[in-house]
Amino acid sequence: MYLEKRFEEATYSTTDSINSLILNRPYPIIRAKRLTTTYGLTVLLSLRDANEKIIQVYVPKRYADVMLDEDIENINSQSIYINLVYKGINEFTKAYLLAIDS
């Protein structure tokens, strides 16, 4: 059953940029995966939007570095329920600002 759910979610998911998220809206994190890209080690989050659509976003490296394997396991096992909140862009560094809301 769990594999069927993942296949269904893969069918309806898209990969978007962090800045495509609505400002200050909490997005439930339904899955997390640590992986290596051409830019190095990162975390891919699967989020659920207000329309129940799955959105995948790559977390910037500075945030991926603070996510422990234990955090990822807890998200995937649904031991914890947390939301990702996009807070905008720092006007000086142009870095994405993210927060976790539980």
Provide the pLDDT for residue 10: 56
Q: Which of helix, strand or coil describes residue 49?
A: coil
Q: What is the pLDDT along the chain (102 residues), one digit of tens a residue?
A: 556 655 655 555 678 999 999 999 999 999 999 999 898 999 999 999 988 899 999 999 999 999 999 999 999 999 999 999 999 999 999 999 999 998
Which ranges in the chain belong to alpha helices (H)?
A: 2-11, 61-64, 69-76
Provide the pLDDT for residue 69: 95
Which domain covers residue 47, as residue numbers?
A: 2-101
Provide the pLDDT for residue 6: 58
Provide the pLDDT for residue 83: 98
Provide the pLDDT for residue 4: 64
CATH value at residue 17: 2.40.50
Provide the pLDDT for residue 13: 61
Number of domains present in the structure of the chain: 1
Provide the pLDDT for residue 52: 87
The answer for residues whose C-beta is within 8 angstroms of residue 47's C-beta and 6 or more apart is: 21, 27, 28, 29, 30, 54, 55, 56, 57, 84
